[in-house]
């Protein structure tokens, strides 16, 4: 089985739907000291809000509906992001729902930690594994892909 090594300093992607941005900001302020130990990435508006709120550098992608979710997914697939914290709104249909589903599928495919709500984000950020090197196992999908090509 293949592995991918995560450094002690994680590369964390932060994403939030409009109705969840204020909740993510509150969570981020509460966890600022822990977040400051890592490299932060975010989609468009969320990144601007995080940077202004936390006074920490945030690498920003496009807004989610404009392709930001896909950019985050591509970075996960290339091994350039380690953790996804995505405060999504389960009660509001999003025009880019297929992009969101694809992002979550990529995160599961590459076996990275994902938090979709505040409680899970709390557990994730306070895990001792979050602040040390970690080697994640990667599923070998080649037999699945080869079977589909036949």
Set out the domains of the chain in order of their start, with CATH numbers: 9-149 (3.40.50.1380)
Pick from 52-56, 71-75, 89-93: least confident: 89-93
Q: pLDDT, tens digit, for every residue of 112-150?
A: 999 999 999 999 999 999 999 999 999 888 877 767 666
Identify the CA nearest to 85 among candidates 121, 56, 35.
Answer: 121
Detail the DSSP E strand segments found in 36-133: 39-42, 58-60, 83-87, 114-115
Provide the pLDDT for residue 150.
61
**149 burial via Cβ count (<10 Å: 0-12, 13-18, 19+):** exposed
Provide the pLDDT for residue 146.
67
Q: Structure pTM?
A: 0.92
Task: Find the catalytic residue in 69, 97, 122, 140.
Answer: 69
User: Are residues 146 and 18 in contact, defined by beta-carbon separation less than 8 angstroms?
Assistant: no
For the beta carbon of residue 94, count every other beta carbon within 10 angstroms: 15
- 69 is an active site residue: yes
Residue 74 has pLDDT above 70, yes or no: yes
């Amino acid at each position: 089985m293949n592995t991918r090594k995560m450094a002690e300093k994680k590369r964390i992607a932060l994403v939030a739907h409009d109705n969840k941005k204020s909740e993510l900001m509150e969570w981020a302020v509460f966890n600022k000291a822990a977040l400051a130990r890592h490299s932060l990435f975010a989609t468009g508006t969320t990144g601007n809000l995080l940077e202004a709120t936390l006074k920490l550098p945030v690498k920003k992608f496009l807004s989610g509906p404009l392709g930001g979710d896909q950019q985050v997914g591509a970075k996960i697939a290339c091994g350039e992001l380690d953790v996804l914290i995505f405060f999504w709104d389960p009660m509001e249909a999003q025009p880019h729902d297929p992009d969101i589903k694809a992002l979550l599928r990529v995160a599961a495919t590459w076996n990275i930690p994902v938090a979709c709500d505040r409680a899970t984000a709390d557990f994730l950020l306070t895990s001792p594994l979050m602040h040390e090197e970690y080697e994640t196992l990667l599923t070998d999908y080649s037999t699945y892909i080869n079977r589909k090509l036949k």
